[in-house]
Structure 1
């Protein structure tokens, strides 16, 4: 499955979040790639993790950024087709994060991909869009 321009555009938001988490001494080097596996660890920190609150904040920031950017690029007159369609009512952010962690555990082949790609693959698999109705002739 290829997400083409949506993934490229959404990657900018995820990259910004990942760069916020890099040490100040790393400036001037190539930005790190924030992977799907790393996002899953942020979304489901282990019990007793002293950084659990910060990890979840990064997780939520990436998931919200991907969702909002997806909505922005899939609405309007020149919109790209949506990669996923959220149900109504939408699940809570905590439910989405938990589902993402489970999806990554079940799909380890995507752990090394960029976080935005993993988030889009998860959303497409978990929240597929209904097939358009067949046209009558």
Structure 2
């Protein structure tokens, strides 16, 4: 109950974003690649990269938390690659595999991770 009250208090303090405030939308793989591609050198590249890193990291954490180790098809090597290395590899891999650009971004991300970092 205390958690619910705390969550409700926080939600009321967070401003509601209108559609005009939405900077990045990831509707498919092409959208994610556009945000993650550092070659674009957008004026807000720092924000774009932070969004990309957050998407990739959040997806990975969700996967590793929800899929038992015995069922995983993508495994982080030791030592693990940096977020930037994964991001850049994902962008390059996806550009070389354009048939996935209209697929859901998280599906393409895990297709890349499974091919690049398969479990032993």
* TM interval, short-chain normalised: 0.7 to 0.9
1:25 counterpart = 2:15: no
The number of residue pairs the alignment matches comes to 100
Structure 1 runs, 4 residues or longer, greater than 6 Å off: none
Give runs of aligned pairs for residues 106-125 of structure 1, distance below 5 A. 106-125=96-115
Shift of 1:38: 1.2
Q: Which deviates further from its counterpart, 37-46 or 112-121?
A: 37-46
- Structure with max Cα Rg: 2
Give runs of aligned pairs for residues 1-137 of structure 1, distance below 5 A. 24-25=18-19, 34-75=27-68, 81-130=71-120
Q: Determine the C-alpha separation between the residues in 2 that align with 1:124 and 1:47.
A: 26
Q: Determine the C-alpha separation between the residues in 2 that align with 1:25 and 1:69.
A: 26
> In structure 2, do the counterparts of structure 1 residues 47 and 113 end up closer, same or farther at CA, with 3 Å as the change threshold?
closer
> Higher helix share goes to which structure?
2
Superposition TM-score, scaled by structure 1 size: 0.66
SS of aligned partner of 2:71: coil
Superposition TM-score, scaled by structure 2 size: 0.74
